[in-house]
Structure 1
Amino acid sequence: MKKPTVDEVLQQGIYGPLETKPDERRKYLGTIRERIIVALYKRQVAETEVYPQIKQSMNKYPGAQLLLNGNMNYEALSKYIKLATKNKVVHKIVTNKEHDTEIGLVLAMSHAIDKEEIFISKTQPLPEKSQYKKGFFSKIFKR
């Protein structure tokens, strides 16, 4: 390892330690893309219903951390805070006064998982009765 120069030490003393991918960290509420399990935009977090994929992901990845955008209204975030508390998932409200991102919620791990698709497009409706497979007797006894 090379020895840091005096200029590098002074720069880190003034501005803090060097950070990997600072633009990506500002966008994804303090984490990087390769660690994200699921992310929601602000408009999705503001919806009245909780996305079931978030709950499923919390159950599937118990060591995950929930990051919430602190620039949003607390009422919109509270349902996800309650869900995280119920599922014993660590949550943190992240507020960045210098940069506002369109991301409202991120569920991430402390290590890379490299998930290809992190954004949820819409809530998935539950299957209706007509979508269930029909059994043998439903063919015999048609109504």
Structure 2
Amino acid sequence: MEEVEKYLKDHVFGNPQLKPEEKSKYLGNFQERVAIALTIVESKNLGNIKTVEKVIDDNPDYHMYINGDMDQLIQGKYISLAASKDFKFTIIAKDNVRVEKVNTDNDMGLVIADEHSPISKPVIL
């Protein structure tokens, strides 16, 4: 009977998740898998596109995640870059969120991560 109670307590708000704050911060990724993460302000700085391009060239099997709440002009620059390199990307939109969260300039705008395993050396800006 205790097992049933424990199961119900653990799952009453959905399946338990591992490090949900970390995954939320890095657009659905664990920090250990992130090669580069740019805040919205850093993403707006078009000088960082060269750095992102180098990460893409060095790691063609990684995946780019773009914050869907970021300015569409900036999104377009990174989408064009990913498309020109035939690089996988996903736009992360926060539909179905009960509490509306307004993004700040310090929220992540772009993340490039390995989908499957931790990386050995992240890019530090």
Task: Tell me the TM-score normalized by structure 1.
Answer: 0.69
Q: Does 1:109 align with 2:114?
A: yes
| 3-state SS of paired residue (2:17) | coil
Q: Does 1:45 align with 2:43?
A: yes
Q: Say how many residue pairs are matched.
A: 115
**For residues 113 and 48 of structure 1, what CA distance do their matches in structure 2 show?**
25
Task: Tell me the TM-score normalized by structure 2.
Answer: 0.78
**For residues 119 and 76 of structure 1, what CA distance do their matches in structure 2 show?**
21
Q: Structure 1: any 5+ residue segments left out of the alignment?
A: 121-143
Structure-2 residue corresponding to 1:79:
77
Q: Contact 1:50 / 1:79 at 8 angstroms: preserved in 2?
A: no
Q: Which letter does structure 1 place at the counterpart of 2:108?
A: I
The CA deviation at 1:10 is 6.8
The CA deviation at 1:72 is 1.0
Radius of gyration: which is bigger? Answer: 1
How large is the RMSD of aligned CA atoms in angstroms?
2.3
**For residues 46 and 57 of structure 2, what CA distance do their matches in structure 1 show?**
21
The CA deviation at 1:102 is 1.3
Q: Which letter does structure 2 place at the counterpart of 1:25?
A: K
The superposition leaves residues 110-143 of structure 1 with CA deviations (integer Å, 9 ceiling, x where unpaired) of 110143x5442xxxxxxxxxxxxxxxxxxxxxxx
**For residues 72 and 113 of structure 1, what CA distance do their matches in structure 2 show?**
26
**For residues 74 and 6 of structure 1, what CA distance do their matches in structure 2 show?**
48
Q: Structure 2: any 5+ residue segments left out of the alignment?
A: none
How is 1:94-105 mapped onto 2 (pairs within 5 angstroms)?
Answer: 94-96=92-94, 97=97, 98=99, 99=101, 100=103, 102-105=107-110
The superposition leaves residues 33-52 of structure 1 with CA deviations (integer Å, 9 ceiling, x where unpaired) of 10001111101212345521
Structure-1 residue corresponding to 2:66:
68
Deviating 4+ runs (over 6 angstroms): none
**For residues 93 and 3 of structure 2, what CA distance do their matches in structure 1 show?**
33
Of all paired residues, the percent bearing the same amino acid is 25
Q: Contact 1:50 / 1:80 at 8 angstroms: preserved in 2?
A: no
The CA deviation at 1:5 is 3.0
Query: Greater relative contact order: 1 or 2 (C-alpha under 8 angstroms, separation 6 or more)?
Result: 2
